[in-house]
């Protein structure tokens, strides 16, 4: 079974990645690989940050690996918080603070179209490949639901009548940006000639 290190310290992401890639890959978390360094995310685009994550782990281990960066892009806020989603309300902000800042920024504005965008960076034999997945939806007027993580409780995907935070993991995967990006990576790996 193909082994890949997941270049993320985020346990919520690891759960989703494991669920989506199921039994087809042997995914090693950074904890399992005994890598405890912070991975910097210094750039102004999801593409560059995703790349930085996988390259950082490849430089440490020399192993095939993948990382991802995700942002919530709100149309009427000019794409904000975007690449700054994790730090929207400040450098060490927690999700509740980021959500509050988002709801404050939107106020009563009815223009609440948004999308999640995930960029996955895969490093195979030292070469990098990127895959993108998006999920269109709207920002609710208040948090609803208690599952999931990050901005899940204020994001309702198009075609659903509940937020990500009201959905089971499998339901979220039906819509999710992360699932779409990872399935593209999986399809690519299926066809990759490892010889």
Q: What is the 3-state secondary structure (H, E, C) of 132-161?
A: EEEEEEEECCCCCCCCCCCCHHHEEECCCC
80 binds ligand IMP (CB under 6 A): no
10 binds ligand IMP (CB under 6 A): yes
Residues making up the chain, counted from first to last: 195
Q: Which two tokens stand for residue 157?
A: 């995907």
Distances 141 to 15, 53, 165, 179 between C-alpha atoms, Å: 28, 33, 14, 26
Number of residues that bind ligand IMP (CB under 6 A): 16
Query: Which of 178, 179, 182, 189 touches ligand IMP (CB under 6 A)?
Result: 178
Active site residue 69: yes
150 binds ligand IMP (CB under 6 A): yes
Catalytic residue among 69, 113, 158, 173: 69
Cβ proximity to ligand IMP, 52 vs 98, nearer residue: 98
**Backbone phi and psi for residue 92, each to the nearest 5 degrees, phi listed first:** -115, 30
69 binds ligand IMP (CB under 6 A): yes
Residues within the interface to ligand IMP (CB under 6 A): 10, 41, 69-70, 72, 85-86, 95, 98, 116, 149-152, 164, 178
């Amino acid at each position: 079974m193909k082994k890949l290190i997941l270049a993320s310290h985020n346990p919520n992401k690891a759960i989703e990645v494991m669920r989506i890639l199921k039994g087809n890959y042997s995914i090693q978390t950074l904890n399992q690989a005994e890598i405890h360094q912070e991975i910097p995310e210094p750039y102004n685009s999801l593409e560059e940050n995703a790349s930085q994550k996988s390259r950082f782990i490849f430089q440490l281990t020399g192993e095939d690996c993948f990382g991802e960066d995700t942002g919530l892009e709100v149309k009427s806020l000019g794409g904000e918080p975007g690449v700054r989603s994790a730090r929207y309300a400040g450098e060490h902000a927690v999700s509740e603070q980021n959500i509050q800042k988002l709801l404050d920024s939107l106020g009563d504005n009815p223009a609440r179209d948004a999308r999640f965008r995930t960029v996955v960076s895969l490093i195979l034999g030292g070469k990098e490949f990127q895959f993108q997945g998006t999920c269109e939806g709207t920002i609710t007027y208040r948090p609803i639901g208690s599952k999931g993580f990050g901005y899940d409780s204020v994001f309702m995907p198009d075609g659903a009548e509940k937020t990500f935070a009201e959905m089971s993991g499998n339901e979220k995967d039906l819509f999710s940006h992360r699932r779409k990006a990872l399935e593209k990576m999986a399809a690519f790996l299926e066809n990759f000639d490892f010889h």
